Structure 1
Amino acid sequence: MTDTTAASPLQGNVLFYAQPEPLSLEVHGALGVDAVDKPYAFVAQTNLVPVMVTEFAPAALSYPVIFVGENKQPVAVMALRGGENLFVSEDGEFRPEAYIPAYVRRYPFVFANDDAQQRMILCVDRAAPFIKEGGSTPLFVDGQPSPYTQQAMEFCNNFEQERLRTEAFLKLLTDMDLLDTREAVFTPRNPDGTAAAPQKIAEYYAVSEDKLKALPAKKLAELRDNGALGQIYAHLVSLLGWDRLIALAFQKAAAAQPAAGNA
């Protein structure tokens, strides 16, 4: 098992997007979307998916929610190593009980900055396999964005607001110096049942419970009143999910063994 943060694909802000293009009637007027039963194959090789602060509580029911990289990006951990996902099948189906982050649900649309015009531009990933010429749900109708595209634009607008809210939350954690490095450790068993040497499976940033307890009452009240304290507790509770990830990894390895033996 490898260090989770070392395998992070979160460089830049276009994870999953292979060919993002500014959406326009001239270029994309004939395109549409075909419904897909299992549309999330693009997530199947990604172990870390960004989450917004307001998603911490629902995401915590499925994944560890940790902070990674120089910018302390909050992410849901979906596998113990890069290049795989224990919650998404290769053909693109999420486990039915798993929370699907908004970062995934907004695909294939995304906002990009137009620095020259100081505005946001809606882009679409032209490489998305379910976007096709003459797709059943058009992107444009009568020369105007279709209801589907308008809904996507509203979702991306809301996502942008949540992204700004998440940045403010991270600034709060940084200003209060609440984040520390932490390790996720697994202790395997020897054949005789005794504990073997512990193995580090990830290193990441998390809120320090000791630092949180040491805050002055006024600062704790500030976190409580602005809603940040609830998000912090959701993050801390989510860290219990490392055991679930380890169990899923062993299940996947065990399921693959018979196939390897018959090869």
Structure 2
Amino acid sequence: MATTAQQAPGLGDISGTVLFYQKPEPLNPELHGKLGVKTIEAPFRFAKSGHAVPLTVGEFPLAALSGPIIFVGDDKMPIAVMGLNAGDNMFVQENGLFEPGVYIPAYVRRYPFVFATDDAQDRMVLCIDRAAEFIVEGGEMPFFEADNQPSEYTKRCMEFCNNFETERRRTVAFVQILKDLDLFETKTATFTPTNPDGTPAETQKIAEYFGVSEEKLNKLPPEKFIELRDNGALGQIYAHLMSLVGWDRLVALAMARAPAPPQAANA
């Protein structure tokens, strides 16, 4: 499938993933020839609203160090859980930066660029989010050169998006392997708070999601297990399973940031 950074005549309906993207537009020298990206102090402020961010399978080992990796929806899309409440990424600080040591998914790093599908011409079209606060006229990193050709910055971003698309397809194939082996099960993340007297309170459900069943994995025929090992899927499965302890980290963060209960005044 071809990719392009310029809008061609007859562009059909464009479809694509829209998390973070408020006003996606096909990158076009006529519309965006004078635009570019400027450096700002809060480059990831846009990601504050993403408590669940799409993830590619190659990112599992690094993402597992930051928080849970789960699968959602009929397609079993893998996502990095970055918050307990919708619209609140707990790892994005008030200054618009990620907390030190937190893995930043490629889905976030590619912003404001994204590929969309041009169904009419069977190709991928490079788009930008025109609503991104750091896209301005005369930006330090222009989208196009004086001859209306993509700048080196745009070329690098296009390559990044191409690599992301390759990884996305590899992720689809990985998920299909798990489906074919019937390894998915419904999992529930829970939290048991503590009463003021120190006794356990009623257990609360945090989330319900799809994950790999360790029982099903361990019952696979030896030849299937070896196949997963040899094609690299086994390591990614274990990264997913290990990541689930990250629910405890999210709960701890939420509790640490919760308003402190009022204290009785000393007599």
Q: TM-score, normalised by structure 1?
A: 0.91
CA distance in structure 2 between the aligned counterparts of 1:241 and 1:224, rounded to whole angstroms: 24
Q: Report deviation, 1:94.
A: 0.4
1:64-213 alignment runs, 5 A limit? 64-142=68-146, 143-213=148-218
**Which residue number corresponds to residue 223 of structure 1?**
228
> Which consecutive unaligned segments of at least 5 residues does structure 2 have?
1-15, 263-267
Q: Report deviation, 1:34.
A: 0.4
The runs of at least 4 consecutive aligned structure 1 residues that moved more than 2 Å come to none
Q: Report deviation, 1:47.
A: 0.8
Is 1:52 the counterpart of 2:56 in the alignment?
A: yes
Q: Please give the per-residue CA displacement for 1:173-195, whole angstroms capped at 9, x wherever unaligned.
A: 00100010000010111111111
Q: Please give the per-residue CA displacement for 1:19-72, whole angstroms capped at 9, x wherever unaligned.
A: 111101111000011012321111112210011000011000001000111211
Q: 1:24 aligns with which of 28, 35, 58?
A: 28
CA distance in structure 2 between the aligned counterparts of 1:177 and 1:92, rounded to whole angstroms: 41
CA distance in structure 2 between the aligned counterparts of 1:254 and 1:215, rounded to whole angstroms: 47
SS in structure 2 at match of 1:233: helix
Q: Which amino acid aligns with 2:213?
A: S
CA distance in structure 2 between the aligned counterparts of 1:35 and 1:237, rounded to whole angstroms: 36
SS in structure 1 at match of 2:209: strand
**Which residue number corresponds to residue 4 of structure 1?**
none
CA distance in structure 2 between the aligned counterparts of 1:22 and 1:188, rounded to whole angstroms: 49
Q: Which amino acid aligns with 1:87?
A: F
Structure showing greater Rg? 2
Q: Which amino acid aligns with 1:245?
A: L
> Which consecutive unaligned segments of at least 5 residues does structure 1 have?
1-11, 259-263
Q: Which amino acid aligns with 2:73?
A: G
Q: 1:249 aligns with which of 248, 254, 257?
A: 254
CA distance in structure 1 between the aligned counterparts of 2:117 and 2:84, rounded to whole angstroms: 33
Q: 1:62 aligns with which of 50, 60, 66?
A: 66
CA distance in structure 2 between the aligned counterparts of 1:135 and 1:178, rounded to whole angstroms: 48
CA distance in structure 1 between the aligned counterparts of 2:49 and 2:162, rounded to whole angstroms: 27
CA distance in structure 1 between the aligned counterparts of 2:89 and 2:247, rounded to whole angstroms: 14
Q: Report deviation, 1:133.
A: 0.8
Q: Report deviation, 1:14.
A: 1.3
Percent of paired sites with the same residue: 63
Is the helix fraction higher in 1 or 2?
1
| Cα root mean square deviation, aligned | 1.4
CA distance in structure 2 between the aligned counterparts of 1:226 and 1:254, rounded to whole angstroms: 48
Q: Which amino acid aligns with 2:210?
A: Y
| Alignment coverage as a number of residue pairs | 247
Q: Report deviation, 1:214.
A: 0.4
Q: Report deviation, 1:241.
A: 0.5
Whether the 8 Å contact between 2:19 and 2:50 is mirrored in structure 1 is: no
Q: TM-score, normalised by structure 2?
A: 0.90
